[in-house]
Amino acid sequence: MWFVKLGALILTLILLINYPLYTVGTAVFFVVVAYAIGDAKIKDKTKPSKAQSKSPAMNKVEIPEFDAMKQYIRMTALGHSNCAIINGEGGLGKSFTTIETLKEINADYALFTGYSTLLSFYKFLYENRDKIIVLDDTEGLLKDVRAIGLLKNALWEVDGRRQVEYNSSTSMLKDTPESFDFTGRIIFLCNQIPNEGKRNMEALLSRALYYKIAFTFEQKMKILKKCISARTDLDPAQKQKIWDILNRYLTSETNNINFRLVERLAQFVKFNEAMAEKLFVELYKEEFFNV
């Protein structure tokens, strides 16, 4: 940081003026340490977040098919709903679209991925009780009846309060209270809804804006083409190469078509354009192409 470096330089001048011989080595040491600290802090500050590191080199892509999803996210973030549940197969852009939409409105959000224990989830809810919580890739939560209980309490008001409780006789809660008022909102992103139709799950879904993403083959191909065109790290020939490969192998019978295919093909093309098609087919032949 600049003030750390400035302070070190001033201190160095004072030492040199008053003790020119004895403290030269010490002064140099102060300067070196100050610059190291300043540079380290600058590097740490500019370190990309998880959401940013996932973003490919591309211009903004306008995809009308995501408009309804974006509106549900905004509704929730702005307090018109306590929860939105977005369901759809992996690789369709749920996470990226959600984070970008929240950034557009400068929302204060916290991202929770994976699910290990009920206690860790309870503590996360408490620590972010006034924020917009994005639960991504956490289907395990929806398989845990106790976790569903916490979510229901966090999303539904009783006497004007959404009180979340964790009853435990252990000391593992430490500084976390056994109950608290949750004033935030929750956006749940999942590839599938486990136990759909069961009473607990239906009770949770009834508390949320539940939206399912289901694109047709034609819609997916249209979006893939837009994603390719928006890339800023590829020349026109490379973009055409990627589109030709996708157009050649993807059909309405292809399993699990997702937008990550563009990123993977871009990696192959930039590595070795002549071998890109072979590398792509070899990698996905069993999963997608059945060849």
Which DSSP string do the residues of 104-138 spell out, in sequence order? HTT--EEEEES---HHHHHHHHHHTTTSEEEEES-
Query: For residue 99, what pLDDT is reported?
Result: 95
Q: Which of 93, 96, 71 is nearest to 84 (CA)?
A: 71
* E strand or H helix that includes residue 234: none
Element counts in the chain: helices (H) and strands (E) = 12, 7
Query: For residue 174, what pLDDT is reported?
Result: 80
Query: For residue 19, what pLDDT is reported?
Result: 52
Query: For residue 1, what pLDDT is reported?
Result: 47
The pTM for the full model equals 0.74
Query: For residue 39, what pLDDT is reported?
Result: 41
CA 97 to chain centre: 9
Amino acid at the residue 191: N
Query: For residue 25, what pLDDT is reported?
Result: 47
Query: For residue 76, what pLDDT is reported?
Result: 97
Query: Which residue is it, tokens 């809804």?
Result: 193
Between CA 182 and CA 252 the distance in angstroms is 44
201, two tokens: 């799950």
What is the torsion angle, in degrees rounded to the nearest 10, for the CA atoms of residue 69, residue 70, residue 73 and residue 79?
Answer: -130
Q: Is 68 exposed, middle or buried (0-12, 13-18, 19+ CB in 10 A)?
A: exposed
> Can you give the pLDDT of all 291 residues of the chain as single tens digits?
444 444 554 555 555 455 554 444 444 444 433 444 344 332 333 333 344 434 556 567 788 889 999 999 999 999 999 999 999 888 888 999 999 999 999 999 999 998 878 999 999 999 999 999 999 988 888 888 899 999 999 999 999 999 999 987 666 778 889 999 999 999 999 998 887 778 888 888 888 999 999 899 999 999 999 999 999 999 999 999 999 999 999 999 888 888 889 999 999 999 999 999 999 999 988 776 655
Between CA 251 and CA 232 the distance in angstroms is 27
